[in-house]
Amino acid sequence: MHLPQGSIVWVTGAGSGIGRACALAFASAGARLALTGRRIALLEETAAAIRAAGGEEPLIAPADVTDAEAVASTHAAIVQALGDPLVLVNSAGGNVTIRHWDTVDASGVSQVVDLDLKATFYCTLAVLPAMRARRDGRIVHIASQAGVSLQTVSGPSYSAAKTGVVAMSASLNAEQGIHGIRSICISPGEVETPILNTRPSPPSAEERALMLQPEDVADAALFAATLPPRACITELILLPTDDRHVRDQARRIEALAKPR
């Protein structure tokens, strides 16, 4: 596995959840981190956690990644302060509570698509030229199980956006692999992160305990990004072992198999 010491890693959505876990994982591998998110206080918490774990002082680079101009200027500031990122982790994401067809409105659709799909494009576009010039770059997209199978709990806007991320990542590999660029799309099932609190009916503590944890996704991201240059994990679906979506069906199958 290969991640050159001192490599620059830019993580969006770094203030909490999977983004924070990815920042900590890459820092533990010796990377220099640029942390992006909208809330500076949360980014500072992530930076403090990196320092406490013995990582190098990260750069706090706040931005609203749904704003293309803000992404471009933030990327320029990262390059000036640290250099060109070797790795981009597109982890910024979110959902709205009013999300289903009978209640969602145009504003909610735009909010989700802007954050979960368009922002991923903006950040990717920012890093690509230097990655092509270097002939090495690793872009990790945190997609979702909702992007590879029907998950009605997520709502149509989120499912459509994450499906778009999966397709975008595939097109990156098809066009940019010849330049040494690897696009890694991780589609996790339910993860115990703050986004769960936006659900119309948030899951219980017992349900959350069975879900993936942010560090599980971060470990997968670090592994995929540190494989030899010849190898690319193009798509990775990471699910809870006891997956709530199929649990009832599994129990029905088990009940039918028991002797009567």
CATH code assigned at 64: 3.40.50.720
Q: What is the mean pLDDT of residues 213-219?
A: 97
Residue 1 lies in a domain: no
Active site residue 122: no
Lowest mean pLDDT among 40-49, 131-140, 194-203: 194-203
208 part of a folded domain: yes
Contact 2, 228 (CB under 8 A): yes
Residue 36: inside a domain: yes
Per-residue pLDDT band at 191 (split at 50, 70, 90): very high
pLDDT tens-digit map of 11-60? 999 999 999 999 999 999 999 999 999 999 999 999 999 999 999 999 99
Q: Which amino acid is at 243?
A: D
When divided into structural domains, the chain yields a total of: 1
Mean pLDDT along residues 108-129: 97
Residue 2 within any structural domain of the chain = no
- Does the residue 74 lie in any domain? yes
The residue that leads in pLDDT, 244 or 111, is 111
| 235: in domain | yes
Instruction: Evaluate whether residue 45 is within a structural domain.
Output: yes
Q: Give the pLDDT band of residue 116 (cuts 50, 70, 90).
A: very high
- 251 contacts 200 by C-beta, under 8 angstroms: no
Task: Check residues 70 and 251 and name the one with the higher pLDDT.
Answer: 70
| pLDDT recorded at residue 206 | 87
Average pLDDT score over residue span 190-218: 89
Domain encompassing residue 109? 8-257
Q: Any bridge partners for residue 138, and if so which?
A: 87, 182
**Are 42 and 92 spatial neighbours (Cβ–Cβ below 8 Å)?**
no
Is the residue at 29 inside a domain? yes
In the set 158, 185, 214, 221, the catalytic residue is: 158
pLDDT over 80 at 163, yes or no: yes
Q: What is the pTM of this model?
A: 0.93
